[in-house]
Amino acid sequence: MTREVEEFKELLAQAKFVTFLTGAGVSVPSGIPDYRSKNGLYKKEKYDFPPEYMLSHDNLVKHPDIFHDFVVHNMYFPDAKPNVIHQKM
Protein backbone atom coordinates (compact mmCIF):
# COMPACT_ATOMS: atom_id res chain seq x y z
CA MET A 1 0.00 0.00 0.00
CA THR A 2 1.03 3.55 -0.50
CA ARG A 3 2.36 5.61 2.37
CA GLU A 4 -0.76 7.80 2.27
CA VAL A 5 -3.06 4.80 2.64
CA GLU A 6 -1.03 3.49 5.56
CA GLU A 7 -1.13 6.91 7.24
CA PHE A 8 -4.87 7.09 6.70
CA LYS A 9 -5.36 3.63 8.21
CA GLU A 10 -3.31 4.68 11.23
CA LEU A 11 -5.40 7.83 11.68
CA LEU A 12 -8.58 5.75 11.54
CA ALA A 13 -7.19 3.28 14.06
CA GLN A 14 -6.36 6.08 16.50
CA ALA A 15 -9.56 8.08 16.04
CA LYS A 16 -12.18 8.07 18.76
CA PHE A 17 -14.95 8.94 16.29
CA VAL A 18 -15.07 8.67 12.49
CA THR A 19 -17.68 10.06 10.11
CA PHE A 20 -18.00 9.09 6.46
CA LEU A 21 -19.91 11.39 4.12
CA THR A 22 -21.01 9.51 1.03
CA GLY A 23 -23.43 9.91 -1.82
CA ALA A 24 -26.80 8.20 -2.06
CA GLY A 25 -25.37 5.79 -4.61
CA VAL A 26 -23.44 3.92 -1.91
CA SER A 27 -26.65 2.14 -0.86
CA VAL A 28 -27.86 1.24 -4.35
CA PRO A 29 -26.18 -2.22 -4.22
CA SER A 30 -28.26 -2.85 -1.08
CA GLY A 31 -31.47 -2.28 -3.00
CA ILE A 32 -32.04 1.31 -1.89
CA PRO A 33 -32.63 3.58 -4.88
CA ASP A 34 -30.73 6.81 -5.33
CA TYR A 35 -32.57 10.08 -5.75
CA ARG A 36 -31.62 11.80 -8.98
CA SER A 37 -30.53 9.18 -11.51
CA LYS A 38 -32.64 8.22 -14.52
CA ASN A 39 -34.49 5.66 -12.39
CA GLY A 40 -34.07 7.50 -9.12
CA LEU A 41 -36.64 8.12 -6.46
CA TYR A 42 -37.39 11.69 -7.52
CA LYS A 43 -38.06 10.67 -11.14
CA LYS A 44 -40.87 8.38 -9.98
CA GLU A 45 -42.58 11.07 -7.99
CA LYS A 46 -46.33 11.38 -8.42
CA TYR A 47 -46.80 14.69 -6.63
CA ASP A 48 -46.58 18.22 -7.98
CA PHE A 49 -43.85 19.26 -5.55
CA PRO A 50 -40.13 19.65 -6.19
CA PRO A 51 -38.06 16.72 -4.91
CA GLU A 52 -36.39 18.76 -2.16
CA TYR A 53 -39.81 19.61 -0.75
CA MET A 54 -41.01 16.03 -0.30
CA LEU A 55 -38.96 15.35 2.85
CA SER A 56 -39.08 18.88 4.19
CA HIS A 57 -40.52 19.93 7.52
CA ASP A 58 -42.82 22.31 5.65
CA ASN A 59 -44.32 19.42 3.67
CA LEU A 60 -44.75 17.40 6.87
CA VAL A 61 -46.65 20.26 8.51
CA LYS A 62 -48.73 21.40 5.52
CA HIS A 63 -49.33 18.04 3.82
CA PRO A 64 -48.85 15.27 6.40
CA ASP A 65 -50.78 12.77 4.26
CA ILE A 66 -48.49 13.34 1.26
CA PHE A 67 -45.38 13.29 3.45
CA HIS A 68 -46.44 10.05 5.10
CA ASP A 69 -47.33 8.40 1.78
CA PHE A 70 -43.98 9.37 0.31
CA VAL A 71 -42.02 8.06 3.29
CA VAL A 72 -43.93 4.78 3.55
CA HIS A 73 -43.64 4.01 -0.17
CA ASN A 74 -40.15 5.36 -0.83
CA MET A 75 -38.06 5.40 2.33
CA TYR A 76 -38.74 2.03 3.96
CA PHE A 77 -36.47 -0.85 2.92
CA PRO A 78 -36.86 -3.66 5.45
CA ASP A 79 -34.95 -6.17 3.32
CA ALA A 80 -31.91 -3.95 2.69
CA LYS A 81 -28.63 -5.30 4.01
CA PRO A 82 -25.23 -3.59 4.28
CA ASN A 83 -23.20 -4.04 1.12
CA VAL A 84 -19.43 -4.36 0.71
CA ILE A 85 -19.00 -0.56 0.70
CA HIS A 86 -20.76 -0.25 4.06
CA GLN A 87 -18.75 -3.15 5.45
CA LYS A 88 -15.43 -1.64 4.36
CA MET A 89 -16.28 1.67 5.99
pLDDT tens per residue across all 89 residues of the chain: 799 999 999 999 999 999 989 887 898 899 888 877 777 777 666 778 887 888 899 999 999 999 999 899 888 899 999 999 888 88
Q: How many domains does the chain have?
A: 1
How far is the CA of 64 from the CAs of 1, 32, 60, 68, 82, in angstroms? 52, 23, 5, 6, 30
pTM of this prediction exceeds 0.85: no
**Residue 83 lies in domain:** 3-88
